[in-house]
Amino acid sequence: MAIKTNGFIFEIFGGVQAKKTAALYIYEGGNRIVEIPEKTMKYLRSYEVTSILESAFCSCKTMIRAFIPDSVTLMGEKVFKGCRSMTLIKLPSRIKYLPDESFMGCSMLKQAVMPKSVERIGTDAFNGCVALDHIDLADGITSIGSCAFAGCKSLSSVRLPETAVDLGADIFSDCFSLHDAFIPRSFTSIPDGMFNGCIKLKPPVISNKVEYIGREAFKNCRTFKSFSLPENIRAVNEYVFAKCGGLQSVYIPQHVTEIKRGAFLECIGLTQINLPDKLKIIGSEAFCGCFNIKKIKIPDGVKSIGNDAFFSCTNLTDIYLPAETEFIGRGAFFGCHPSLAFHGRRGSFAERYAAEKGFAFKEAI
């Protein structure tokens, strides 16, 4: 049974014995301010509105504000997706889950009043809400989906809740105005691409409990000047600091065994890098385009240097290779300074490689 009133179309749910409730199926009205009723009536019978179905307001062009009654406890996906004129939404006090793409593309949405009852925020929930400048993520939230706040270009600061244990990729990617991010000390990992493209972000304080920082987590964070990786990290992940042009120094813990592909790609501010003693592998493109590095000492134990690892490090004049190095990938030192000299032991792979590629070789003392 359907009920149509004031531009709302409701569907009635519930069996013979169960209490029947109403779900908002679609809104066809043109009001600028929309207040969803707590109850709807038909044939003198009242039905409590407890849910809003998928895409009920999707691409509604006229609505600027929406108020949802506290009787609503469930929302479908994409309920307000593409409501480009909406500036404010007040969510009901008992809602626990904001589904995927709930407010995606609401480009004028400036304020979203989120109750403390919310436990999960779905994938792309606020993706592309470019006017959203503040969001309260209360303790109690356990899950935040991938790209939940991606492209929220006005968001200036965020405090992640202690209770969040399930975090998707790229949650705050391309939040161009984000400058402060508070990461709880209880966190043990930072997901892939979490702050990718946050060009104004200051380096967040990361607890030593963190054991994993995902690929591209801080890619293109241009204002970083220095960064200290937590002590429990064992690998510097792929492209994690790629294109952090302002990065001048980075602390890499001694237990790190691998610097993966593109980890410091085009970090043009780096003038030197102290590599950890336990390092074994330098991945492809690891320091590609770091043209201000002049000298680098590869630690004992490094066996492999990947393709293009130091490609276009145009000011690199001295590299010290240990006897253990047994593989250097294609183009690893292509485009480096013409006077680049390899330092190593006589008869080592370093000497043979330098001779093969036409580089100078100097015996390490």
Q: Indicate which CATH number applies to the domain containing 341.
A: 3.80.10.10
Handedness of CA 14, 20, 23, 27 (dihedral sign): positive
Q: What is the pLDDT at residue 42?
A: 82
- Whether residue 233 lies inside any domain: the answer is yes
Is 274 among the domain residues? yes
Q: Is 336 a member of any domain?
A: yes
Is 279:258 a contact under the CB 8 Å cutoff?
yes
Q: 318 is in which domain, residue-wise?
A: 224-365
AA letter at 244:
C
Domain-embedded: residue 79: no
29 within a domain of the structure (yes/no): no
**259 is a domain residue:** yes
Looking at residue 251, its pLDDT comes to 96
CA distance 241 to 227: 10
Task: Report the largest interatomic distance among the alpha carbons of the chain, rounded to a whole angstrom.
Answer: 97
Please, are residues 268 and 245 in contact by the beta-carbon 8 Å criterion? Answer: yes
Residue 358 lies in a domain: yes
pLDDT in single tens digits along all 365 residues of the chain: 788 998 999 999 876 545 789 999 999 999 999 999 999 988 878 999 999 999 999 999 999 999 999 999 999 999 999 999 999 999 999 999 999 999 999 999 999 999 999 999 999 999 999 999 999 999 999 999 999 999 999 999 999 999 999 999 999 999 999 999 999 999 999 999 999 999 999 999 999 999 999 999 999 999 999 999 999 999 999 999 999 999 999 999 999 999 999 999 999 999 989 999 999 999 999 999 999 999 999 999 999 999 999 999 999 999 999 999 999 999 999 999 999 999 999 999 999 999 999 999 999 86
Quote the number of domains for the chain: 1
Separation of CA 357 from chain center? 40
Report the predicted TM-score, pTM, of the whole model to 2 decimal places: 0.93
Pairwise CA distance, residues 150 & 173, whole Å: 5
Is 305 part of any domain? yes
